[in-house]
Amino acid sequence: MYLVKVTVKESPIEGRGVSTLEDIRKGSVVWKFDPAHDKSMSPTEFDALDEAAKESLLRVAYLSSTSNRWVYPPEGDPAHFTNHSEKNNMTAVTDSSVSEEPFFIANRDIQAGEELTNNYEEFDTRPSIKVEGFIKQWHILNRDGTPTKEEELPERPEDSNPMEGEAFRPWYKQDEHLHIEGGKIVGIHVRGTLEEVQVRLRAYLDQEAKILEHFGGNEDVLLPDADSFLNKPI
């Protein structure tokens, strides 16, 4: 939990972020795991969650380097909005005499009003980690199975306020889906290794005619819907 007074407001990095309401001296502990407040679960417990719950948790949790548990803030905690930055002003520190989990100190003097940021790569040990709002384990492939070049991706739109109900989710936070355009499957947006995603894409292309007949040829299709369709007797 944050040990300084903070607020959540619009961020120039992504959507909303956490800003300090007070000056913070370099070396001060800014966030520390509190077992009476913060949450954690084992990898076994995580694996037992349904896909929707996993998706939600992956956006706010990290896999701890000290306990090998998924650590995350409770509902309503400002830490949900802590953004990644390679120019982070908080640094992760591991010291069991202070906390059983990595904690965060100010790596420079931070003035009131500044956004508090950390670098996910310092403390999140999952194989593919979140960086600047984009989950690296996502792959966006073209129809031929090649990765879409970064410059071909749509520009990041502004996030809506996630605290005001149903929020717009830009391309880098969207659900897994098939991209359909001009009467054909033109790509796939899904999590997994490159090889896994290529295999999934080929499976959908094998059933392309039936998918288009069922869903139409000009609207993207969420993969749970497509999976359900593919599981039907043909």
Give the pLDDT confidence score for residue 177 in this predicted structure.
82
Element holding 163 (H helix, E strand): none
Give the pLDDT confidence score for residue 24 in this predicted structure.
97
At residue 182's C-alpha, the angle toward residues 177 and 188, to 5°, is 20
Which residue, among 17, 227, 8, 226, has the nearest Cα to 118 in the 3D structure?
17
CATH C-level class of 6-134: mainly beta
| Structure tokens, 2 | 């944050």
| Structure tokens, 27 | 């070396």
DSSP 3-state of 51: helix
**Phi/psi zone of residue 157: left (φ > 0), alpha (ψ -120 to 50 degrees), beta?**
beta
Residue boundaries of the structural domains of the chain: 6-134, 137-230
Which residue, among 64, 109, 103, 72, has the nearest Cα to 89 in the 3D structure?
109
How many Å apart are CA 39 and CA 49, to the nearest integer? 15
Strand ranges, E, within the chain: 6-10, 16-20, 29-31, 39-41, 62-63, 70-72, 83-84, 90-93, 103-106, 115-118, 130-131, 134-135, 138-142, 177-181, 184-191, 221-222
| pTM of this prediction exceeds 0.85 | no
Give the pLDDT confidence score for residue 173 in this predicted structure.
44
Low-confidence ranges of the chain (pLDDT < 50): 129-136, 151, 154-173, 232-234
| Structure tokens, 47 | 């694996």
Residue with tokens 């830490």: 79
Give the pLDDT confidence score for residue 231 in this predicted structure.
54
Give the pLDDT confidence score for residue 179 in this predicted structure.
86
| Structure tokens, 161 | 């306020």
Can you state the percent helix, strand and coil of the chain, rounding each to 5?
Answer: 25, 25, 50
Which residue, among 176, 234, 230, has the nearest Cα to 204 in the 3D structure?
230
Give the pLDDT confidence score for residue 196 in this predicted structure.
74
